[in-house]
Structure 1
Amino acid sequence: MTPKKLQIYSTPISEVVLIATQSHEDERGVFYRGFCDHELDEILMGRTIRQINLSITHQVGTIRGLHFQHPPYAEMKMIRCIQGCVWDVVVDLRKESATFLQWYGVELSGDNKLMIVIPEGCAHGFQSLIGKSELLYLHTKPYVPTAEGGIKYDDPSLKIPWPLAIAEISERDCSFPLLNENYQGIVL
Structure 2
Amino acid sequence: MIKDVMVKKLLRHPDDRGFFMEILRDDENLLKRFGQASMSKSYPGVIKAFHYHERQDDIWFFPVGNAQVVLYDLRADSSTKGETNVFYLGEDNPQVVVIPKGVAHGYRVLGNEPACIVYFTTESYDPKNPDEKRIDWNDPMIGFDWTTKNR
Residues matched between the structures, number: 146
Structure 2 unmatched runs, 5+: none
> Which residue in 1 is equivalent to 2:87?
106
Could you tell me which amino acid in structure 2 is paired with residue 129 of structure 1?
L
Q: Which has the larger radius of gyration?
A: 1
Other-structure match for 1:64? 48
Match of 2:135 among 151, 155, 176: 151
Structure 2 residue corresponding to 1:162, chosen from 142, 146, 150: 146
Q: Match of 2:108? A: 127
Asked if 1:28 corresponds to 2:17, the answer is: yes
Residue 117, structure 1, aligned to residue 98, structure 2: yes
Identical-pair percentage? 28
Q: TM-score, normalised by structure 1?
A: 0.72
How far 1:63 moved relative to its partner? Answer: 0.6
Find the aligned partners of 1:49 and 1:90 in 2 and give their Cα distance.
22
Q: Aligned partner of 1:81: which letter?
A: F
CA distance in 2, matches of 1:144, 1:92: 24
Which of structure 1's runs of 4+ aligned residues deviate more than 6 A? none
1:170: which partner in 2? Answer: none
Distance 1:129 1:30 in 2: 23
Classify 1:144/1:68 alpha carbon distance in 2 versus 1 (closer, same or farther; 3 Å). farther
Relative contact order, higher structure (CA 8 A, sep 6+): 2
Q: Which has the higher helix share?
A: 1
Is 2:39 the partner of 1:54?
Answer: yes
Query: Could you say which structure has the higher strand fraction?
Result: 2
CA distance in structure 1 between the aligned counterparts of 2:92 and 2:116, rounded to whole angstroms: 12
Q: In the aligned structure 2, how far is the partner of 1:121 from the partner of 1:141?
A: 14
